[in-house]
Amino acid sequence: MRVIAIDGPAGVGKSTIARRLAERLGWAYLDSGALYRALTHAALQSEVALDDGAALAALARDLELSLEPQGVVRVDGLDVSAALRTPAVARGVSSVAAVPAVRAVMVVHQRRFAEGKTGVVAEGRDMGTVVFPDAVIKLFLDADPEERARRRLDQGQEVGPDADMGRVRADLEARDAQDRGRAVAPLAQAADAERLDTTQMTPDEVFEAVWMRVRSVIRP
């Protein structure tokens, strides 16, 4: 099993690139953020407080979370994919993801997802640093906050009708600060990862740059 790890901050375009790359290679696509979002959604549904680490960890252990290779996320068998993009989930997910016992459960899920597959393109915050330290390629995608907010707004993701640039940017930056500052598996570039600043690049240009790198290592 070979892994390509793609990490980076919110709104940088990791999902678009990871999904496209997985498709081109015929590999599975692992959206690790979807697992943290699914747990956050489940906590909101069952009224578990998002600052109650012990209850969140218990919930993570009890739920049957599953990620299907095409991106469908199930909690106890129910497809929750559509619910994962709501503003409530986006606002709560970083505190859920900061709980060490929650992360321990998620790491098991992520490695299990990869087991037995030919190849996996894994996307998140700690794919290259923690979950798949032996990944054959590690990329860290980055872009200025202003540009990331614009991309989020253009995609219409996680934003309500009152969305404006200032609020989207503030939300992104708050989430990144929380993700970078946590004690366990913070958002960080792995020492052996390649950083790509995509601020001035179109999605196609990013994909071509990534694809050249992949071809030089994997020769599909």
In the complex, the residues that contact ligand DC under the rule CB under 6 A are 10, 32-33, 36-37, 93-94, 97, 124-126, 175, 179
Q: How far is the CB of 86 from ligand DC (least distance, A)?
A: 12
Distance CA 149, CA 154 (A): 9
The residue among 67 and 97 lying less far from ligand DC, judged by its C-beta, is 97
> What phi and psi, each to the nearest 5 degrees, are found at residue 121?
-100, 110
The residue among 6 and 25 lying less far from ligand DC, judged by its C-beta, is 6
The residue among 20 and 37 lying less far from ligand DC, judged by its C-beta, is 37
Q: Positive or negative, the Cα torsion across 10, 14, 19, 20? A: positive
Q: How far is the CB of 208 from ligand DC (least distance, A)?
A: 23
Token reading at 91: 């606002």
Distance CA 187, CA 184 (A): 9
The residue among 119 and 124 lying less far from ligand DC, judged by its C-beta, is 124
Token reading at 186: 């913070």
Q: How far is the CB of 103 from ligand DC (least distance, A)?
A: 7
65: how many CB neighbours lie within 10 A of its CB?
18
Q: How far is the CB of 13 from ligand DC (least distance, A)?
A: 11
Q: How far is the CB of 190 from ligand DC (least distance, A)?
A: 12
Cβ neighbours of residue 89 closer than 8 Å, sequence gap 6 or more: 37, 40, 41, 44, 83
The residue among 88 and 220 lying less far from ligand DC, judged by its C-beta, is 88
Distance CA 158, CA 177 (A): 18
Instruction: Render the burial of 113-130: b for 16+ CB within 10 Å, e for the rest.
Output: bbeeeebbbbbbbbbbbb
The residue among 70 and 215 lying less far from ligand DC, judged by its C-beta, is 70
Q: How far is the CB of 2 from ligand DC (least distance, A)?
A: 19
